[in-house]
Chains A and B, each alone.
Chain A
Amino acid sequence: MIHSLFLINSSGDIFLEKHWKSVVSRSVCDYFFEAQERATEPENVPPVIPTPHHYLISVLRHRIYFVAVIQSEVPPLFVIEFLHRVVDTFQDYFGVCTEAAIKDNVVVVYELLEEMLDNGFPLATESNILKELIKPPTILRTMVNTITGSTNVGEQLPTGQLSVVPWRRTGVKYTNNEAYFDVVEEIDAIIDKSGSTITAEIQGVIDACVKLTGMPDLTLSFMNPRLLDDVSFHPCVRFKRWEAERILSFIPPDGNFRLLSYHVSSQNLVAIPVYVKHNISFREGSSQGRFDLTLGPKQTMGKSVEAVLVSSQLPRGVLTANLNPSQGTYTFDPVTKMLTWDVGKINPQKLPSLKGTMSLQAGASKPDENPTINIQLKIQQMAISGLKVNRLDMYGEKYKPFKGIKYMTKAGKFQVRT
């Protein structure tokens, strides 16, 4: 099982270590540093690294490497999923997951890690249970604790761990009973030079924020559940009911959680919200290149496309870019060669464009590679797959909750080749 954990910051310092079995010397991280040196980019460090006696499994989050040390055969996904859970927990507790935040709360971090893993076996990883065991630090509580000498550690047994619904704590009480659901879809797509779609798929999630008193039993149904190709549920969802009726039936955890994630890959269902007209070219023998980019809405079902951000890694030979945006602002980093154009909202009447020239190093030959354009965008009040929630009902409790559903579409890895 998981033996030890090392946290390493971007400058290569080990700033926290935790051992669940015997102590593993931090020199084991040298193998990690070697791999890090070989990788050109921080993201390219391989996630599984063998060493003579151990295996190092790492994830990179918020510019911190979380490096787990294992000694025997342990499923790597198990370790990676656990590390993700650690990151999520830190973020949940401290608002951000940064080196500073972790150092500021090192004792809580240590207590958390101790609760999350026992002898390498995961113990309590649900945020609900953890929060019962160890209270998240708030400025108010820290002050109170400092003055009164009380502690962060909860005194009662984490009852939730043993109940049939381990994800929900008992005795929840709210004055305002509310349940909010966000349907968020991300489009991953590759568009080729000519504008035709090579691949497109939708990764969707339904994130919930449920603050309901007692033990509510909810059902959520969709207008068009057959859209979904593959679904992954929160453990609270009753799978049989979904299989039989395509209805989500569940006792929700308290607070924020991800109810469902889904995947739509049937291509005819994936609408492409924007198109890009581009002309990025260099002429042989000239040190000037042309850059010409125009964006326009495509299939948006009448909704407006907002928060558009275009970025592109220009060829290494490019020295400067002298461009003129019709709207928004652009920056070009001459070191990383990254061009970013903050477009904002697309106005269908007056399409945003970015035009101008790029200059190459004098005497440099025409670059071989074609830059890829990466697009981020948001469309409010629409799930691009067309998924719609039909109704949400609550059983088991008497009060009338306030219910809300929000839709949003974003671009995930949306890439246009040139």
Chain B
Amino acid sequence: MQEWANQLCENRQFGSKMTDSKYFTTTKKGEIFELKAELNSDKKEKKKEAVKKVIASMTVGKDVSALFPDVVNCMQTDNLELKKLVYLYLMNYAKSQPDMAIMAVNTFVKDCEDLNPLIRALAVRTMGCIRVDKITEYLCEPLRKCLKDEDPYVRKTAAVCVAKLHDINAQLVEDQGFLDTLKDLISDSNPMVVANAVAALSEIAESHPNSNLLDLNPQTINKLLTALNECTEWGQIFILDCLANYSPRDDRESQSICERVTPRLSHANSAVVLSAVKVLMKFMEMLPKDLDYYGTLLKKLAPPLVTLLSAEPELQYVALRNINLIVQRRPEILKHEMKVFFVKYNDPIYVKLEKLDIMIRLASQANIAQVLAELKEYATEVDVDFVRKAVRAIGRCAIKVEQSAERCVSTLLDLIQTKVNYVVQEAIVVIKDIFRKYPNKYESVIATLCEHLESLDEPEARAAMIWIVGEYAERIDNADELLESFLEGFHDESTQVQLQLLTAIVKLFLKKPTETQELVQQVLSLATQDSDNPDLRDRGYIYWRLLSTDPVAAKEVVLAEKPLISEETDLIEPTLLEELICHIGTLASVYHKPPSAFVEGSRGVQHKRLTSSAGSGESVESPDTGSAAVSEAPPTVIPSQGDLLGDLLNLDLTPPTSTGPPPTTAPGMQLGAMDLLGGGLDSLIGDESEPPPIPLRTDTPQSPQPPHQSPSPPHYSPTELGGDIGGSPAMGTGFGAPPAAMPASFNAPISGGLDDLFDLGGGGGLTMGTYIPPKSVWLPAMKAKGLEISGTFVRRSGVIQMEMTLNNKAMSVMSDFAIQFNRNSFGLAPAGPLQILTPISPNQSIEAALPLSTVGPVMKMEPLNNLQVAVKNNIDVFYFSCQYPISMLFLEDGKMERQVFLATWKDIPNENESQFQIKDCHLNSDAASNKLQGSNIFTIAKRTVEGQDMLYQSMKLTNGIWVLAELRVQAGNPNYTISLKCRAPEVSQCVFQNYETVLKN
């Protein structure tokens, strides 16, 4: 019995030996040691088994690199399998053991001379895969021989090896002349060699955009076309992709290439088919449209595209993304094939969504009935995303095919009757668009829509509904009640809804002024006084002023006729589309993004454009468009959430961003606020016989001349709409001009310049130290999903810093912080990104200091020293406003010369003088003077008249405005009198407040 059991066990073992899975089971200790012994065994079979075990361990990611010398020792063998296995191992580990790898070189070199071409090829192939610099030197000679080998199998392997070598050491490949040899191989007699040479050259060309490696001329094209018919499917793809780069000389050449490429449309490999479609789509452009062949070709393109859609889902997906491009470029190809895009219920979601997109692109009057029936069917499916998109699609059909609009609206109404919440909301969003496209046509449905008011809980749907109510307020009897009902929870709404509600109520007021006055006042106060959202406040103020100053104008502005929305909103921009058509079948075509975005570290990708038949006879594409073309890439308009900042107010006050050069030196062209603040200074400076002292500072940003006096181009580019966002580059791209675009005089590093300044001139003035207001809470946690920000402003060594404490009171980690300022009175802007390097975990607080510059965009704020800030983190964007002490802006060189002071004082008209009382201040005049100097308020002279000290003081703001002050201190009287004179009297109030805080702290 025992014996029998033993036998069974042995049999079992034998049975398990049948498979490789046994290699996975060796997990006991000393495994490496055991393998080592086996590798050094005399028995061939044992050796091979051991190598197999090693390979198996390697594949599952175990580290068996310690066995390197033992495995390499097995390399000198006649057994082909053992050799291959050792090669496999070498490729994997040579990098980590370069010195050991050298040991293998001799065997490689010997194998490259072997009689068996299979071994020669294998050796050269493996050598190329060993990515060790030392080995590559030894590789050159064998490779050169193999490239000229008599056996095409060796040559084609060697061709790929050049690409491998180039990847490791590009310079070596060029120096050794391998590129030329590779080019010669394009004319090889064997099609597979040609295909591999093309593949290798294409790969090398990717890192050499201008190298002209694939110099295509009619002779090489002919060679490629011949090889195309005879090489493998993969080779065909390489050759077709290469052909697509060629620009035929004329339409006849174009046609002859098309004719020879067309048979590839019947290939079983879908990648071959799609590459062939690319070549045909590109070369078709050159064919005259009246040519018979043109029509034939169009007809031939449809069936293969349709066939691609019956393939596996992932192939379908890629095909659909490309068909989306083809349909936009040449809708005629697939216009009769609508049905193949109908969705099967078990298609994967990514296929469903793409099909839906194409259905809408193909929708026309002829097939709209069918399409609508389908869409209605989809709207009852299970997948919520898909259902939403289907409902949206109905709206897009209505906008695209006018004749169908009525039917679409009734379909949407049917869907609303289903009362499925998300369907209703989606339907209302699209009905809003339909209203905009066809005004005054379908308003009869409003009543039905209003019935569903309560069920709307998504911001977009709420906003859409509010828009409808506002737009058609005159037809809805209880519009005021409806809007009022939204107003109750105003502060809980999302910004989108708040803005829409504000506008809708203003519209309502303009239409029915008598009964809605209260409502409009309520919303205006909610938007301006109770809100922290700068966009909302801006819009609120604009409306408020419009309504209070000129209601007629308000009516014209607010109730103006809206531009109709375009038929198809998501068409790809034509130049990009042309480029993508030239790249059909690539990743770029799947993502619908320019090809330059897809090559890692690429310096340039040839921008391809379709050459049309209009220019036939000439080869339009010039090879040197390479690297230069990248910068010409069409500006991508990425609507980001930052666009919120491009709000109504900004858009109204600034010239359009796209107007060429910024305005020139005329002061009138400066932004309004600049004029207010700095305009009066022209004469001040101009009148002086002696310019104010400005040692060593002519090129710092804080140059005392007002910016528009400077002969250099204007400093404030009005294109900088929202200011640069600090931190996230992704958000930054959406905004205005990058810092590099600033005029040269602004390029000096701000802090550096000011440090010098301070060292030279500041001296003892700062012994008292600057007054730093205590931190106050700017953004309460309640309003910012748990993020609390408190902070203050500091001026240290001429650098303004915003010091903040960020406190995470939420339950989740916060990260990805970025900050941005709204335009403000003195152009304060972050000088760098907000440096919060580590995420803030719950209940943690972090200190952050943000250096500020004063070269940002300018807009007058109320009060003057108000600053509106947007802080973004991984959760949301939050807005708050805070006020900075104006002394932050007082420059260290704000001490005027006596003469200048006197002249200026006289020159400023008396109406610009303001007088204030500072009460309860118990300092004597010297102490006060010292204290003020700490905040860069400099005493120029002191006079004592009848026991009253008169201090004459000056200060200079970062934008070049001088403020002159006379401070009267009477001994024994705690009340000071201060007179301020300034060309821009607006600042006086702020300056006074600053005096008060400095003196009292």
Determine if chain A interacts with chain B: yes
24 A-B pairs with C-beta separation under 8 A: A71-B600, A72-B206, A73-B587, A75-B271, A76-B318, A76-B587, A77-B270, A77-B318, A103-B21, A106-B56, A111-B85, A118-B157, A118-B160, A122-B234, A149-B44, A151-B80, A157-B118, A164-B230, A190-B342, A199-B340, A231-B266, A235-B267, A235-B268, A243-B263
Q: Is the CB of B20 within 8 A of A105?
A: yes
Q: Is the CB of B312 within 8 A of A105?
A: no
Q: Which of B88, B348, B590 contacts A110 (CB 8 A)?
A: B88
| Nearest B residue (CB) for A74 | B587
For the complex formed, measure the closest distance between the CB of A383 and the CB atoms of chain B, giving whole angstroms: 17
Q: Is the CB of A47 within 8 A of B350?
A: yes
Q: Is the CB of B268 within 8 A of A232?
A: yes
Q: Which of B79, B153, B241, B339 contacts A162 (CB 8 A)?
A: B153
A335 at the interface (CB under 8 A from B): no
**B306 surroundings in chain A (CB, below 8 A):** 229-230, 263, 265
Q: Is the CB of A22 within 8 A of B116?
A: no
CB interface residues, A 61-100, toward B, < 8 Å: 71-78, 80-82, 84, 100
Q: Is the CB of A119 within 8 A of B164?
A: yes
CA distance A76 to B312 in the complex (A): 13
Q: Is the CB of A417 within 8 A of B377?
A: yes
| Nearest A residue (CB) for B117 | A157
**B92 surroundings in chain A (CB, below 8 A):** 19, 23
> Which residues of B come within 8 Å of A, CB atoms?
17-21, 23-24, 44-45, 48, 52, 55-56, 59-61, 79-82, 84-85, 88, 92, 95, 116-118, 125, 128-129, 131, 151-153, 157, 160-161, 163-164, 167, 190, 192, 196, 199-200, 203, 206, 230, 232-234, 237, 241, 263, 266-271, 273-275, 303-304, 306-307, 310, 312-315, 317-319, 339-340, 342, 344-346, 348-350, 374, 377, 380-383, 418, 420, 585-588, 590-591, 595, 598-600
Q: A75-B586, A77-B585, A119-B163 given as contacts; is B274 within 8 A of A1 (CB)?
A: no
Q: Is the CB of B587 within 8 A of A369?
A: no
CB interface residues, A 129-145, toward B, < 8 Å: 139, 142-143
Q: A110-B55, A139-B18, A155-B80 given as contacts; is B44 within 8 A of A80 (CB)?
A: no
CB interface residues, A 343-376, toward B, < 8 Å: 368-370, 372, 374
CA distance A231 to B264 in the complex (A): 11
CA distance A304 to B817 in the complex (A): 69
A320 at the interface (CB under 8 A from B): no
Q: Which of A55, A77, A234, A240 contacts B315 (CB 8 A)?
A: A77
A415 at the interface (CB under 8 A from B): yes
**B599 surroundings in chain A (CB, below 8 A):** 72-73
Q: Is the CB of B271 within 8 A of A415?
A: no
Q: Is the CB of B234 within 8 A of A125?
A: yes
Q: Which of A82, A103, A119 contacts B160 (CB 8 A)?
A: A119
Q: A44-B348, A263-B307 given as contacts; is B84 within 8 A of A81 (CB)?
A: no
CA distance A317 to B590 in the complex (A): 38
Q: Is the CB of B199 within 8 A of A151?
A: no
Secondary structure dominating the interface of A: mixed
A58 at the interface (CB under 8 A from B): yes
**A164 surroundings in chain B (CB, below 8 A):** 230
The 9 A-B residue pairs with the shortest CB-CB distance, nearest first, are A230-B303, A47-B314, A104-B19, A151-B81, A153-B81, A77-B271, A149-B45, A122-B234, A199-B339
Q: Is the CB of A80 within 8 A of B60?
A: no
Contact with B along A366-392 (1 / 0, CB 8 A): 001110101000000000000000000
**A118 surroundings in chain B (CB, below 8 A):** 125, 157, 160
Q: Which of A43, A104, A243 contacts B313 (CB 8 A)?
A: A43
For the complex formed, measure the closest distance between the CB of A34 and the CB atoms of chain B, giving whole angstroms: 15
A407 at the interface (CB under 8 A from B): no
Q: Is the CB of B268 within 8 A of A234?
A: yes
Stretch at the interface among A10-18, A207-215, A326-334: A10-18
> Interface extent on A, as a size class?
35 or more
For the complex formed, measure the closest distance between the CB of A268 and the CB atoms of chain B, giving whole angstroms: 13
Q: Is the CB of A26 within 8 A of B61?
A: yes
A291 at the interface (CB under 8 A from B): no
A324 at the interface (CB under 8 A from B): no
Contact with B along A391-418 (1 / 0, CB 8 A): 0000000000000000000000101010
**A225 surroundings in chain B (CB, below 8 A):** none
**A18 surroundings in chain B (CB, below 8 A):** 59
Q: Is the CB of B48 within 8 A of A151?
A: yes
A121 at the interface (CB under 8 A from B): yes
Q: Apart from A57-B314, A80-B271, A119-B161, what are 5 other A-B pairs with CB-CB below 8 Å?
A: A58-B314, A105-B19, A107-B85, A119-B128, A229-B306
**B270 surroundings in chain A (CB, below 8 A):** 77, 80-81
Q: A73-B598, A119-B164, A258-B268 given as contacts; is B59 within 8 A of A17 (CB)?
A: yes
For the complex formed, measure the closest distance between the CB of A200 and the CB atoms of chain B, giving whole angstroms: 9
Q: Which of B269, B317, B380 contacts A46 (CB 8 A)?
A: B317
CA distance A376 to B303 in the complex (A): 26
| Nearest B residue (CB) for A165 | B230
A222 at the interface (CB under 8 A from B): no
**B381 surroundings in chain A (CB, below 8 A):** 369
